[in-house]
A = this chain, B = another copy of it.
Amino acid sequence: MKNWLLILVCFWVFMLSAQSENPPNFVVVFCDDLGYGDIGSFGHPLIQTPNIDRMAVEGQKWTQFYVADPVCTPSRAGLLTGRYPIRNGMTSSKRHVFFPDSPNGLPLEELTIAEILKPQGYTSAVIGKWHLGHLPKFLPGQQGFDYYYGIPYSNDMDSDKWEEYLKQSEDPDYFSKTEFFNVPLIENADIIERPADQTTITKRYTEKAVQFIEKNKSQPFFLYLAHSMPHIPLFVSEEFRGRSKSSLYVDVIEEIDWSVGEVLNALEKNNLDQNTIVVFTSDNGPWLLFKTHGGSAGPLRAGKGTTFEGGQRVPTVIWGPGIVTSGVIDQMGATLDLLPTFANLAGAEVPSDRKMDGYDLSLVLTKKTASPRKDFYYWAFAELHAYRNQKYKIHIKQREAINYGGPTIVLERPELYDLNADISEKYNIAETFPDVVSDLMGNLELHLKDVQDRIPDQLAGRMSKE
């Protein structure tokens, strides 16, 4: 009996040491248009997300975590490069994101997390939505990734039904046909399905993610699992359709939660859980234009496309039982910080030949020290809208809360909010604290100068029709 116990203990010690030989693996689960309030542990009354909630309890629940930009393409560029998208031409006043007729992509001289980690022996994959250039010369293989499986731009593109869809925005069944959207599914550089069958897409991404984990279990890896859901039009597999008894949106999120569970299971089954960090987050706030069809920013103001908190603060959980100390982190962090954080944990080098905007959060993860991030600049459509320093946030420009597609509103006087006492940005206190306004305006001006040296707008271009 005692011998068995000894063998068991030795085996366990061996497994632990085998795990820690490699630098840690990184998995980033990046949802599309998931709102701050759309997760159970972030306050949604109906969406049940037991797997993400378990990550939040066992790991860190970040309640003030930002994306680099409130729309898709720039947000992704910010995450992968650790730079505000204004620096690398990935935000534009002319076109919000890349479209099927865009000739450009993320400039190849930009360095992604995959490229930073490669010298340390990492294998990297993008599974899901790319949206940083759909032409072959801009696909993930050109940016340090060893494998790609997914759609190259948003799931509502390549369609002539957009106007019709908008009119029917309250009927979730109206656009249940995957044929309405001529979006290709790509593996590496080949189109393998067109239109992509979106009803099974969350399930298939998950299967590919699990396969990637199994295949790479004995070497360090970076898996960027960028779900195309819950971006509208919503699709869900048969197993999940109607399961929540609430709404299609709820079904869709519950399938994503299932997917998270499958990823955690795969890590545990392959003995990788003690040496892997999983980040769960979203690319921007909910798409409020679609009313009952879109998500919720919870208590935060506005949603996608705006620089109010509802547009850029996203529900974020960082899990890694062998590395991450559990707790609620109510300090600031951003997707911009993932590159330097992963680099530090992997022993990789952060580029020193260009300006970087991220902070290394590794000590917050491992020891719950104070976050080094004390401020954040809110850019949208190539314009600086707002700036947060500690608890104060100043707005100088805005977009409409529901339909951000209109012109930028330049405020006559800056608005000031105390995000500690006024989580919903309701009460402008600029007149009460003129000194704070002037301090924050000073930093804002400096930042505008700091980003002058930049790559020109890559989003505005349009290919002529063939």
Does residue A123 face the partner (Cβ distance < 8 Å to B)? Answer: no
User: Which among B45, B249, B296 is the interface contact of A63 at CB below 8 angstroms?
Assistant: B45
Complex Cα distance A421/B297, Å? Answer: 14
Interface core residue of A57, A291, A421, A432 (most chain B CB under 10 Å): A421
Closest to A64 in B: B45
Does residue A40 face the partner (Cβ distance < 8 Å to B)? Answer: yes
Stretch touching chain B among A189-197, A200-208, A423-431:
A423-431
Task: Determine how close the nearest CB of chain B comes to the CB of A281; give it in whole angstroms.
Answer: 15
Whether A247 and B421, one on each chain, are in contact in the complex, defined by CB atoms closer than 8 angstroms, is yes
Task: Determine how close the nearest CB of chain B comes to the CB of A52; give it in whole angstroms.
Answer: 13
Chain B residues with CB under 8 A of A426: 291
Whether A420 and B299, one on each chain, are in contact in the complex, defined by CB atoms closer than 8 angstroms, is no
Closest to A313 in B: B45
User: Which among B245, B250, B421 is the interface contact of A249 at CB below 8 angstroms?
Assistant: B421
Chain B residues with CB under 8 A of A328: 40, 48
Task: Determine how close the nearest CB of chain B comes to the CB of A31; give it in whole angstroms.
Answer: 17
Task: Determine how close the nearest CB of chain B comes to the CB of A214; give it in whole angstroms.
Answer: 31
Within 8 A of B (CB), among A387-442: 391, 418, 420-424, 426-427, 429, 432
User: Which among B293, B296, B298, B420 is the interface contact of A46 at CB below 8 angstroms?
Assistant: B420
Complex Cα distance A422/B41, Å? Answer: 19
Complex Cα distance A40/B299, Å? Answer: 12
Whether B427 and A170, one on each chain, are in contact in the complex, defined by CB atoms closer than 8 angstroms, is yes
Complex Cα distance A250/B43, Å? Answer: 17
Within 8 A of B (CB), among A29-72: 37, 40-46, 48, 57, 63-64
Within 8 A of B (CB), among A255-301: 291-293, 296-299
Per DSSP, chain A at the interface is: loop
Whether B424 and A296, one on each chain, are in contact in the complex, defined by CB atoms closer than 8 angstroms, is yes
Does residue A3 face the partner (Cβ distance < 8 Å to B)? Answer: no
Whether A299 and B424, one on each chain, are in contact in the complex, defined by CB atoms closer than 8 angstroms, is no
Whether B44 and A291, one on each chain, are in contact in the complex, defined by CB atoms closer than 8 angstroms, is no
User: Which among B40, B43, B46, B292 is the interface contact of A37 at CB below 8 angstroms?
Assistant: B43
Whether B46 and A422, one on each chain, are in contact in the complex, defined by CB atoms closer than 8 angstroms, is no
Given the known interface contacts A170-B427, A247-B420, the answer about A330 and B57 at a Cβ–Cβ threshold of 8 Å is no
Complex Cα distance A64/B57, Å? Answer: 22
The digit string for A340-357, where 1 denotes a CB below 8 A from any CB of B, is: 000000000000000000
Task: Determine how close the nearest CB of chain B comes to the CB of A340; give it in whole angstroms.
Answer: 24
The digit string for A313-344, where 1 denotes a CB below 8 A from any CB of B, is: 10000000000000010100000000000000
Chain B residues with CB under 8 A of A420: 46, 245-247, 250
Task: Determine how close the nearest CB of chain B comes to the CB of A390; give it in whole angstroms.
Answer: 10
Chain B residues with CB under 8 A of A44: 43, 299, 423
User: Which among B64, B292, B421 is the interface contact of A421 at CB below 8 angstroms?
Assistant: B292
Whether A63 and B41, one on each chain, are in contact in the complex, defined by CB atoms closer than 8 angstroms, is no
Nearest 5 A/B pairs, CB to CB: A43-B43, A45-B63, A247-B421, A292-B421, A246-B420
10 other A-B residue contacts (CB within 8 Å) besides A45-B299, A298-B299, A299-B299: A41-B41, A43-B44, A44-B299, A44-B423, A46-B63, A246-B420, A291-B427, A292-B427, A296-B299, A296-B423
Listed by A's residue number, 8 A-B pairs whose Cβ atoms lie within 8 Å are A40-B328, A41-B41, A42-B43, A44-B299, A46-B63, A291-B422, A291-B426, A292-B427
